Amino acid sequence: MKLPARAIARRAVLAAAASGLAACSLPGAGDPPRLFTLSPKSTFAPDLPTARWQLAIEAPVAPGGIDTARIAVQRSPLSLEYFARAQWTDTAPRMVQTLLLESFENTGKLVAVGRESSSLRPDFLLKVDLREFQAEMRGGNAPVAHVRLSVRLVRLPERTVVASFSHDAVEPSAGPEIEKVVMAFDEALGAVLKRVAEWTLRTGNANARS
């Protein structure tokens, strides 16, 4: 399947070279930070149903340690550091919101999908908590990427929560280098985006008005 230009550009960013694990560098020290982004999901279950409703996606809520453009790394359960001279192209919650939106668009199953602040008149709102979004050292010199999203599907206009769902994914990095860690993030987030999109479409259809 031919990749769209945007996906090709993302892969080029993911392939960028950078340094390995380190604490966050001071502003103005050394080289400027390299910027990394991740890709939306584009493949889904073949039996994914078509929806006749519109969806708005709320900006994810995240803990302060990952509500940042810095790429977090956890060496122990009680510590959080950041890769030196490496950042996401946006804060993690805003980047994840964009990738969720693009993943839903890629399903081709929705009438319309957009951000909560858009001009849509949605039938459902997806409320999102970004619970985990960090690399973790679990032994050895290469971390794993850990991503977890918890979502609630809210029917509008009464704002009734019809169901909730959480999915967690862990992907080992092929090495300690930042580009390999970013690729692990891409795999872990892709698994979560797929499950959230498929769950939302099926749950929305089960709870949509006739």
The domain that contains 194 carries what CATH number? 3.40.50.10610
Which residue segment(s) compose the domain that 103 sits in?
A: 49-207
In a domain, 44, yes or no: no
Query: What pLDDT, in 10s, does the model give residues 94-109?
Result: 999 999 999 999 999 9
Query: What is the rounded (10 degree) CA torsion for 155, 131, 69, 28?
Result: 160
Share of the chain above pLDDT 90, in %: 80
Query: What pLDDT, in 10s, does the model give residues 5-62?
Result: 455 444 444 444 333 444 443 344 567 899 999 999 999 999 999 999 999 999 999 9
Radius of gyration of the chain, Cα coordinates, nearest whole angstrom: 18
In a domain, 39, yes or no: no
pLDDT value, residue 26 = 36
Query: What pLDDT, in 10s, does the model give residues 167-191?
Result: 999 999 999 999 999 999 999 999 9
In a domain, 130, yes or no: yes
Determine which helix (DSSP H) or strand (DSSP E) holds 5, and give its type and residue range.
helix 5-14
Measured distance CA(108)–CA(122) in Å, rounded: 17
Mean pLDDT, range 143-158, rounded to an integer: 97
In a domain, 24, yes or no: no
Residue 101 DSSP SS3: helix
Residue 184 DSSP SS3: helix
Encode burial over 5-27: b for 16+ CB neighbours within 10 A, e otherwise. Answer: eeeeebeebbeeebbbbeebbee
In a domain, 163, yes or no: yes
In a domain, 188, yes or no: yes
pLDDT at 87 exceeding the cut of 70: yes
For the chain, the domain total comes to 1
